Amino acid sequence: MAAPALAQEAGAATGPTMLGSDGSAISFSGAFGAGLTTIGAAYGIGKLASAAVESMARQPEVAGTIQISMIIAAALIEGFTFFALVVCMGQNPWTAA
């Protein structure tokens, strides 16, 4: 449900808050985004490891190459995840003073 943007009253406090002027949980969006990011990264790394182990079982002679590729891909996923968590948990521009 969308809430209209209202002008701030004169003399009102201007600090970061957990609730907006209409009582909505504006800061919840960062926590929700961080949760989705973590779940997505866990799912992606799980699928990556599953496929790598299955392919190593099918072709044991290339297990070293597959393992190195899996570690590089997992590191890229983790790097993106940490960046996304920093963005999600950063200061919310709508509640900043």
Residue 9: inside a domain? no
Give me the count of residues in the chain: 97
* Domain that residue 62 falls in: 28-89
Residue 44: inside a domain? yes
SS3 13: coil
Q: What is the DSSP letter of 9?
A: P
CATH number at residue 71: 1.20.20.10
The pLDDT tens digits of the residues spanning 67-92 come to 999 999 999 999 999 999 888 887 55
Residue 69: inside a domain? yes
pTM above 0.75, yes or no: no
> Strands, E, within 1-97: which ranges?
none
Q: Is 11 left (phi over 0), alpha (psi -120 to 50) or beta?
A: left
The pLDDT tens digits of the residues spanning 19-57 come to 555 555 566 777 888 889 999 999 999 999 999 999 999
